[in-house]
Amino acid sequence: MSAPDPRAVDNPISAIFDLAEDVNREAPRLRKLVWYAGVFVGIWLLLDFVLILQNIIQNFVLGTILIALFALGTWTMFTLRRLNDFLNYYTLRHSVILSIRQDDPVVFAPQGSNAVERLRSHLASRNPSMTVALKTDGRSQAVLKGKGGMLYSFDYYLRSRSGPLWRSFGLGYPGYQLFIKQIDQTPTAETFWSMVRAVEEVCRQNKLPPSRAIVLWKRTEDQDLQDEAYDILQRSSMSFQHRTRRYNSSLELIIENQDGSYEFIPYIADTYLSASRAQ
């Protein structure tokens, strides 16, 4: 069967989702092709380096050409890495959007003695790999030291150590950090900026990227989020630099309403025990 005319569109919204599904189905094959190309270029760079050592003195012109090809191969490897990062980012982004589409329109807090405990139960129900970690590695009322020596208090903190390859070379598992801060009053712009600064300072101290930072607000009927605070929340993010890569994580406000329902600003799908993607 021939491919449909790309100019033919019935429902634009449905067409966008269908297009995303088509691209996502091709992503594993493209990732495999990128890996094959990376292996080929890597072998060529090794061979080219040997040829450079053999010819740079005896044949200057040939040596110069080989050096130029080596530089081109290095740039190609960098480009392939960026392409692989894009494919990983796209597939993760697609899975998150798909999970939101399939999720219930209204999410209610589970049973628990307090708001933090209920949120922990909710996170564990959405992320099976967190169930054991929350019981064994989590800490309530954690006081953590920042890079400048100041102490920061969180109502809950979960940490998973990074792998040795990541600590040495930036490769492999980067670790995981979950921060939860509960507030009862209406959050302001300064509330969110304070949370961002606290998380970034702690991350600089323990040398792990931020994975998820949550401001938990138990709202009453007479409280409402101001527009300025909402805009700051949408733009605020925590960053961490390790080797040549930067890790970014958005700050999230989770609201527990009086009827027990949750609101998420923005919605962050924590589908597995992993840190945010490196940029």
> pLDDT tens digits, residue range 197-224?
999 999 999 999 988 999 999 998 888 8
Average pLDDT over residues 250-264: 92
Query: Which one is predicted more confidently, 101 or 179?
Result: 179
Among 102, 130, 162, the domain-final residue is: 102
Residue 158 within a domain = yes
pLDDT higher than threshold 80 for residue 3: no
Q: Are residues 249 and 166 in the same domain?
A: yes
Rg (Cα) of the chain, in Å, rounded? 24
Residue 6 confidence (pLDDT):
66
> What range defines the domain where residue 194 resides?
107-265
Q: Which amino acid is at 256?
A: E
Q: Are residues 72 and 119 in the same domain?
A: no
C-alpha span between 30 and 83 (Å, rounded):
10
Query: Which one is predicted more confidently, 113 or 132?
Result: 113
Average pLDDT over residues 76-80: 93
Q: Are residues 236 and 153 in the same domain?
A: yes
Q: Are residues 259 and 138 in the same domain?
A: yes
Q: Which residues contact 224 (CB under 8 A, 6 or more apart)?
A: 186
pLDDT higher than threshold 80 for residue 62: yes
Q: Are residues 150 and 253 in the same domain?
A: yes
Residue 8 confidence (pLDDT):
67
Q: Taking the model in full, what pTM does it have?
A: 0.73
Q: Are residues 81 and 49 in the same domain?
A: yes
Residue 9 confidence (pLDDT):
66
Q: Which amino acid is at 221?
A: E
Residue 272 confidence (pLDDT):
46
pLDDT higher than threshold 90 for residue 116: yes
Average pLDDT over residues 185-189: 92
Percent of the chain whose pLDDT exceeds 90: 39
Residue 6 within a domain = no
pLDDT higher than threshold 70 for residue 117: yes
Residue 255 confidence (pLDDT):
94
For 14, 108, 177, 268, the CA distances from 213, given in Å and listed in that order, are: 33, 20, 8, 10
Among 70, 102, 134, the domain-final residue is: 102
Q: At what angle do helices 189-206 and 227-235 cross, to 10 degrees?
A: 20
pLDDT higher than threshold 50 for residue 144: yes
Residue 279 within a domain = no
Average pLDDT over residues 78-83: 90
pLDDT band at 236, cuts 50/70/90? confident
Q: Are residues 23 and 128 in the same domain?
A: no
Least reliable range by pLDDT among 4-18, 50-64, 216-230: 4-18
User: Hey, is 139 helix, strand or coil?
Assistant: strand
Q: Are residues 231 and 209 in the same domain?
A: yes
Average pLDDT over residues 269-274: 54
Q: Which H/E stretch holds residue 113?
A: none
C-alpha span between 69 and 61 (Å, rounded):
13
Residue 138 confidence (pLDDT):
79
Residue 81 within a domain = yes
Contact, 174 vs 161, CB < 8 A? Answer: no
For 35, 80, 170, the CA distances from 29, given in Å and listed in that order, are: 10, 14, 25
Residue 153 confidence (pLDDT):
94
The count of domains in the chain is 2
Q: Are residues 177 and 234 in the same domain?
A: yes
Query: Which one is predicted more confidently, 12 or 148?
Result: 148
Count CB atoms within 10 A of the CB of residue 273: 19
C-alpha span between 209 and 246 (Å, rounded):
9
